Amino acid sequence: MIGNRAMDESAVINWHEVERIIQSYHADRMSLLMILQDICDLYNYLPRPVVPLVAERLEVKESLIYSVATFYKSISLEPRGKYIISVCTGTACHVRGADKVMETIEDKLHIKEGQSTDDLLFTLQAVRCLGCCASGPVVMVDKEIHGGIDRSRAEKLLEQYKGEGR
């Protein structure tokens, strides 16, 4: 699992592209959230080395950027997998066995909730009610909802996305 940032994040940053994103919003500090979101879309997370550049261009403090990044769940400061697996742990899904689904996925991916696989194919997270309680237990992979998930279907789901991710 990805714990500490072992890789050199700076090496993978396309500075030209980050600059293009900033300038597409005219380096307007009022667009900070959108700029951070666009950079996240590019890398699936917000690499810390871009923070000083964004701060300089928008003339804001780095601490403001970190505050925004930690406030919004859609922005992560940690590398995230290509596929975000969200296991619903809301009440309806919980009583139908969401904990077993989570356990199965953790076992199969050798990670715990909140972590990402070493190959950055998957990030696993728990979420509260995805709004389709009648289909529980529910798992969302990126924006795709999968209902009626049990241990066996959870394993098949992982195999399906592993196949697509290769």
Q: Which residues bind ligand FES (CB under 6 A)?
A: 88, 90-93, 129-133, 136, 138
Cis peptide before 137 (omega within 30 of 0): yes
Q: In the complex with ligand FES, which residue's Cβ is closer, 55 or 98?
A: 98
Count the neighbouring beta carbons within 10 Å of the beta carbon of residue 25.
16
Q: Interior CA angle at 51 toward 46 and 57, to 5°? A: 125
Amino acid at 115: Q
Shortest separation between residue 147's beta carbon and ligand FES, angstroms: 8
Q: In the complex with ligand FES, which residue's Cβ is closer, 57 or 153?
A: 153
Shortest separation between residue 62's beta carbon and ligand FES, angstroms: 37
Q: Is-contact 41 21, C-beta < 8 A? A: no
Beginning with the edge strand found earlier in the chain, give each strand of the sheet holding 144-146 in spatial order: 122-127, 83-88, 139-141, 144-146
Q: In the complex with ligand FES, which residue's Cβ is closer, 80 or 96?
A: 96
Q: In the complex with ligand FES, which residue's Cβ is closer, 44 or 135?
A: 135
CA separation for the pair 108, 70 (Å, rounded): 29
Shortest separation between residue 111's beta carbon and ligand FES, angstroms: 21
Count the neighbouring beta carbons within 10 Å of the beta carbon of residue 160.
12
Shortest separation between residue 150's beta carbon and ligand FES, angstroms: 14
Shortest separation between residue 92's beta carbon and ligand FES, angstroms: 4
Under DSSP, the state recorded for 139 is E
For residue 80, the Cα-to-chain-centroid distance in whole angstroms is 5
Q: In the complex with ligand FES, which residue's Cβ is closer, 2 or 124?
A: 124
